[in-house]
C-alpha cells in the first residue's frame, strides 16, 4: 500500500488526483475538508474527488466526520460518524473505509463511576473468587483502582490491562460495524509511538492481533528505531503494518528518502503524512491560514516531491517482491510490553533498541518479537531467543520459554529477566532460576571491564561496561561462569537445561553501552569497546554451528541488511541510514538451498548480477554502488 494524506488545502481536485496517479499512489486518505470560494462559487473539493474516483479508480479513506473525544463505554457516537460518511459518500466506488487518527485511552477517560463498575466486572470475569483473595482483592464491589503503582501493584496493573482490553474491544467493534455496512471497507487506525514510554495508551500487540491492519506514526527522523518498532508491530499483527512518515519531522530530504525506504523491508505499506510538507510547491493558502502553527510553516522542503515520486515508482515496480514475505532469521529479540508498562525503569526500550542495533551493525539479522505475541508455533521457528531485562513476564510466557529451552532452544537472557511476577512484584529469585542455573542475590553497581575465559568465544579486546550501570550479583547453582567483571563477580554464565541451553548475562544495561547524546540514541551509536563484538559472538555461538543466511563484508556499520523470503526466492534489502557518501563495494556471501537455475538481479531495473559458486550451497557476489536503498532478488 502507498497511501497519501490530503487534508483539504487545494482548490483543484483534478490536480490532486492527477498528481496522485503520477505518484503511483494506491489510496488517498482525506481529512478536514473545506469548501473553497473561487470567484463566483464555492467548490466542494471532497465531492469533486469522489466524482473523479469514478474515472481514476483511486480509493478514498476519509477521517470519520466530527470524530472527537472517544467515549470508550459507548460506541454510538463513532458509529453515527461513520454512518454519516457512508450515507454521504458510500454510493461512490472510491469510498474505501474510514481512518481514525491516533486513538488513545487515557486514565482520565475511564476514571469515573462507569469505569469502576466495568473494572469490577472485568476482575470478576477474569478471576475466581479464590484467586481474587489470593491476590489480595477482598471487597470487590467497592474496589477503586489506585492512581499510583506502589499503592497496589496488582490492582494498578489490572487497571492498565482493563483499559487495554476496553480499547481493543471498542475498535474491533467499530471495525466489525464498518464491515457490516460493506465487507470490503477498511478501518485504518494510526497509532502513536507510545511503546517506548506508556504502551498502555494504545497497546501494539493488543490492537495488532485483533484489527485487520494497523499504522504507526513514529514522529521521527528516519532512524533504526522506526524499523525496530515496525518489526515489533509486524510480530503481533494479523494484517499489514503501515509506516506513517510524518514528513515535517524529517529534517532533510535525505532523511525523508530513508524514512520511506524503511518500509521496503519492515512494513506492509507506507502512508505519507501529509501532502503539504512534500508537495512539489509550497501551498500559499495552507501556509497562510492561522490554524497552522508558525513552527510548522518552515517544514516544507524542496525536493520531497521528487523523492516521493521516485520511491513510489520503485515500490510499484517491485511490489510483488515486497508482499507476502517472511523472515529467515532463526534469532528473535523478545520485547515485553508488560515490563515496559509496569517497570519505572524508563530506558527499557532504549536498552532493547541498543541490542538490536548492535546486531544490525554486525550485519546479523534478528527478529524483534513481542513476548505477548509468542505462541508454541511461533517460538519453535527460532533457535535463539534474546531476552534483555524483561523482569515482568506473565506466567504463560515463562512456561512457554522454559518448555522451549527444554526442547533444545538456546536462551540468551540479560539481567533481571523474570525477577518479578506478572504484576511487577519483585521476587526473592528469578522465576527462571532453575533454567538459568543461578540464584539472585542483589542488584549493584561498580563493576567495569569484563573478561571472557571460555575458549569457544574468542574476543579481540576486553569488554568495557559502565561502572554507573547496574548488574545482578548471582551465585551459580548448576551454571558455569565463563566471564567475570574486574572485581571477580560473574558476568556471563552458561547452563545446560535438558536439551537446551541458557546463556545468562548479569550486566543490566548492556544495550546502553554506547557513546552519543540523547538526540542520537535512536540514530547512530558507537558502542563501548567489545560490546558489539560480545553481543554478536554470543549470538553466533548460541546458533550451535548453524550458519547465518548471509555474510556481509566491506559494508559500513550504519547500513542494515535484511533478508525476506518467498517460495524459491530470497529478497535482500540494504538501507543506508547515514547521510554520507554512496555505499561502495559491498560483498555478500549467501547460503542457498539449491544452486540449480539461480538468477540474481536488481528488480528496480532488471539488471542481472554476476556471481560465483563457493561450494554446493553458497554463492558470492558484489553489489553495485547505491545511496539510500538497494534491493536484490535471488531466485532458485
pLDDT means over runs of 10, the chain (636 residues):
79 74 87 52 71 85 70 91 89 92 92 97 96 94 94 97 97 96 94 90 96 91 92 95 87 91 95 80 53 57 90 96 96 97 84 96 97 97 97 97 98 97 97 98 95 84 93 98 96 98 97 76 83 96 91 95 97 92 95 91 98 94 97 97
CATH 3.20.20.80 segments of the chain: 2-104+171-321
Q: Which CATH superfamily is domain 2-104+171-321 in?
A: Glycosidases (3.20.20.80)
- Cell 450515507 locates to 87
Q: Specify the fold of 331-542.
A: Rossmann fold (3.40.50)
CATH 3.40.50.880 segments of the chain: 331-542
Q: What is the pLDDT of residues 86-140, one digit of tens each?
A: 998 899 989 999 999 889 999 999 999 999 999 999 999 999 999 999 999 999 9
**What contacts 185, CB < 8 A, 6 or more positions away?**
95, 96, 97, 98, 178, 179
Query: What is the radius of gyration, based on Cα positions, of the chain?
Result: 26
- Cell 555478500 locates to 588
Name the DSSP letter for residue 623: P
Listed in order, strand segments (DSSP E) in 207-364 are: 214-217, 241-243, 269-272, 331-335
**DSSP letters of 160-228?**
HHHHHHHHHHHHHHHHHHHHHH-TT-EEEEEEE--TTT-GGGS-HHHHHTTSS-EEEE--SSS-HHHHH
Domain at 550-635: CATH architecture: Sandwich (2.60)
Measured in residues, the chain has a length of 636
- The packing angle between helices 76-89 and 153-181, to 10°, is 20
**Does the CA dihedral 264-268-273-274 come out positive or negative?**
positive
185 vs 202: CA distance, rounded Å = 23
pLDDT at position 33: 54
Amino acid at each position: 500500500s502507498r497511501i497519501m494524506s490530503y487534508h483539504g488545502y487545494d482548490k483543484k481536485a483534478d490536480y490532486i488526483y492527477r498528481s496522485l496517479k503520477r505518484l503511483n499512489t494506491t489510496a488517498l486518505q482525506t481529512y478536514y475538508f473545506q469548501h473553497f470560494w473561487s470567484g463566483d462559487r464555492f467548490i466542494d473539493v471532497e465531492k469533486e474527488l469522489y466524482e473523479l474516483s469514478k474515472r481514476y479508480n483511486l480509493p478514498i479513506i476519509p477521517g470519520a466526520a466530527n470524530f472527537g473525544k472517544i467515549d470508550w463505554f459507548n460506541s454510538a457516537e463513532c458509529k453515527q460518524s461513520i454512518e454519516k460518511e457512508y450515507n454521504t459518500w458510500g454510493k461512490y466506488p472510491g469510498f474505501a473505509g474510514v481512518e481514525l487518527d491516533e486513538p488513545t485511552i487515557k486514565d482520565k477517560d475511564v476514571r469515573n463511576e462507569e469505569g469502576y463498575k466495568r473494572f469490577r466486572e472485568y476482575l470478576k470475569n477474569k478471576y475466581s473468587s479464590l484467586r481474587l483473595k489470593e491476590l489480595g482483592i477482598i471487597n470487590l464491589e467497592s474496589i477503586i483502582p489506585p492512581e499510583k503503582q506502589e499503592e497496589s501493584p496488582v490492582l494498578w496493573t489490572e487497571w492498565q490491562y482493563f483499559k487495554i482490553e476496553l480499547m481493543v474491544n471498542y475498535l474491533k467493534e467499530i471495525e466489525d460495524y464498518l464491515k457490516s455496512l460493506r465487507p470490503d471497507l477498511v478501518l485504518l487506525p494510526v497509532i502513536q509511538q507510545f511503546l517506548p514510554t506508556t504502551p498502555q495508551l494504545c497497546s501494539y500487540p493488543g490492537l495488532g492481533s485483533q484489527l485487520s491492519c494497523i499504522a504507526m506514526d513514529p514522529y521521527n527522523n528516519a532512524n533504526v528505531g522506526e524499523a525496530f518498532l515496525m518489526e515489533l508491530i509486524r510480530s503481533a499483527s494479523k494484517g499489514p503494518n503501515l509506516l506513517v512518515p510524518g514528513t515535517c519531522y524529517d529534517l532533510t530530504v535525505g532523511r525523508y528518502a530513508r524514512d520511506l525506504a524503511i518500509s521496503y523491508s519492515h512494513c506492509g505499506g507506507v502512508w505519507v503524512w501529509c501532502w503539504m510538507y512534500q508537495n512539489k510547491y509550497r501551498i500559499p493558502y495552507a501556509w497562510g491560514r492561522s490554524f497552522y502553527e508558525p513552527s510548522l510553516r518552515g517544514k516544507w522542503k524542496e525536493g520531497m516531491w521528487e523523492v516521493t515520486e521516485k520511491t513510489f515508482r520503485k515500490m510499484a515496480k517491485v511490489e510483488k517482491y515486497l508482499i507476502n514475505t517472511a523472515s529467515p532469521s532463526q534469532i528473535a529479540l523478545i520485547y515485553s510490553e508488560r515490563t515496559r508498562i509496569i517497570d519505572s525503569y524508563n530506558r527499557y526500550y532504549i536498552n532493547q533498541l541498543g541490542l538490536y542495533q548492535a546486531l544490525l551493525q554486525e550485519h546479523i539479522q534478528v527478529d524483534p518479537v513481542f513476548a505477548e505475541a509468542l505462541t508454541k508455533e511461533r517460538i519453535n521457528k527460532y533457535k535463539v531467543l534474546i531476552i534483555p531485562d524483561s523482569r515482568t513476564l506473565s506466567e504463560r510466557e515463562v512456561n512457554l520459554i522454559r518448555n522451549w529451552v527444554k526442547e533444545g532452544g538456546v536462551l540468551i537472557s540479560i539481567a533481571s529477566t523474570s525477577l518479578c511476577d506478572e504484576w511487577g512484584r519483585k521476587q526473592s529469585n528469578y522465576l527462571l532460576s532453575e533454567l538459568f542455573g543461578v540464584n539472585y542475590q542483589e542488584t549493584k553497581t561498580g563493576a567495569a571491564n569484563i573478561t571472557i575465559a571460555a575458549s569457544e568465544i574468542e574476543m579481540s579486546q576486553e569488554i568495557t561496561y559502565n561502572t554507573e550501570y547496574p548488574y545482578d550479583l548471582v551465585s551459580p547453582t548448576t551454571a558455569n561462569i565463563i566471564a567475570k567483571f574486574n572485581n571477580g563477580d560473574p558476568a556471563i554464565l552458561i547452563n545446560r537445561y535438558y536439551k537446551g541451553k541458557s546463556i545468562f548475562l548479569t550486566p543490566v544495561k548492556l544495550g546502553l553501552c554506547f557513546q552519543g547524546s540523547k538526540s542520537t540514541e535512536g540514530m547512530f551509536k558507537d558502542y563501548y569497546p567489545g560490546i558489539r563484538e560480545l553481543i554478536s559472538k554470543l549470538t553466533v555461538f548460541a546458533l550451535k554451528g548453524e550458519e547465518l543466511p548471509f555474510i556481509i563484508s566491506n559494508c559500513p556499520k550504519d547500513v542494515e541488511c535484511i533478508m525476506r523470503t518467498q517460495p524459491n526466492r530470497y529478497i535482500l534489502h540494504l538501507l543506508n541510514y547515514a547521510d554520507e557518501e554512496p555505499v561502495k563495494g559491498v560483498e555478500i556471501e549467501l547460503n542457498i538451498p539449491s544452486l540449480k537455475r539461480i538468477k540474481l538481479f536488481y528488480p528496480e531495473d532488471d539488471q542481472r548480477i554476476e556471481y560465483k559458486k563457493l561450494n554446493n550451497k553458497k554463492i558470492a557476489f558484489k553489489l553495485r554502488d547505491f545511496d539510500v536503498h538497494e534491493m536484490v532478488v535471488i531466485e532458485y
